[in-house]
A and B are shown apart, each in its own frame.
Chain A
Amino acid sequence: QVQLVQSGAEVKKPGASVKVSCKTSGFTFISYGFTWVRQAPGQGLEWVAWISANNGDTHSALTLRDRVTLTTDSSTSTAYLEMRGLRTDDTAVYFCARKPTSQPLDYWGQGTLVTVSS
């Protein structure tokens, strides 16, 4: 069955970097794109970025573009989100989700809590 399993919670200091992984199984990894969505405590869902596992194309939210890097590793069917220059307002649960072409986000990871605090 389709599964997306994310790495564990992280605690970082302001200015640090974090890399969250999303290991997938149960489908052909390179046939899909992957989207990252975050949710600050008590807030709504915010789209962060998208990557194509087929050709590596990426798109990021304008406000995060300078600090976010998306990568994939097809040998392990894993997608990665790296965020640099962390700020306290980056504290959130980060979700990965599978994004088929012209289709909605159909399968989601369990979420990774990233806490940024001095």
Chain B
Amino acid sequence: DIQMTQSPSSLSASIGDRVTITCRASQGFSDYLAWFQQKPGKAPRLLIYAASTLQSGVPSRFSGTGSGTDFTLTITTLQPEDVATYYCQKYDGVPLTFGGGTTVEI
């Protein structure tokens, strides 16, 4: 099975900073890669799918890039409401593996 490794596991940044989170797959696959945001006590929220497509209603400060084995989530201008844990997930077939998560703090 393909393993998904996120880095860093946590980060602290200031309001207005540019934040980058990386997700690396143990072997290459299609661009069926999604990013989720999860706040404490809540279900995950889909932010990006197909590696770079913004889900409807998600602010444009979120963006995704990458293909093959290396994918990136970028928050261009960090806002207070972006404090959360972010997960990548491959969704082309089973298992639908998640990365370990990246916690973003202010």
Interfacial residues, chain A to chain B (CB-CB below 8 A): 35, 37, 44-47, 50, 59, 61-62, 95, 97, 99, 102-106, 108-111
Task: Find the residue from B36, B85, B87, B99 having the highest chain A CB count within 10 A.
Answer: B36
B32 contact set on A, CB distance < 8 A: 102, 104
Q: Is the CB of A47 within 8 A of B34?
A: no
Are A104 and B91 also in contact (CB < 8 A) when A44-B101, A45-B101, A47-B98 are? yes
Q: Is the CB of B101 within 8 A of A104?
A: no
Q: Is the CB of B49 within 8 A of A103?
A: yes
Task: Find the residue from B32, B91, B101 having the highest chain A CB count within 10 A.
Answer: B91
Residue in B43, B87, B92 whose CB lies within 8 Å of A110: B43
Interfacial residues, chain B to chain A (CB-CB below 8 A): 32, 34, 36, 38, 43-46, 49, 55, 85, 87, 89, 91-92, 94-101
Q: Within the assembled complex, what's the spacing in Å between the Cα atoms of A115 and B48?
A: 32
Q: Within the assembled complex, what's the spacing in Å between the Cα atoms of A59 and B94?
A: 7
Interface of chain B, main secondary structure: loop
Would you list 16 pairs from A and B whose C-beta atoms are within 8 A, ordered by A residue? Answer: A37-B44, A37-B98, A44-B87, A44-B99, A45-B36, A45-B101, A47-B98, A59-B95, A62-B95, A97-B43, A104-B32, A104-B46, A105-B46, A108-B43, A108-B44, A109-B43
Chain A: minimal CB distance from B66 (Å):
15
Residue in A50, A95, A104, A109 whose CB lies within 8 Å of B89: A104
Task: Find the residue from A37, A44, A62, A109 having the highest chain B CB count within 10 A.
Answer: A44
Smallest CB-CB A-B distances: 3 pairs: A108-B43, A104-B34, A59-B94
Residue in B45, B46, B96, B101 whose CB lies within 8 Å of A47: B96
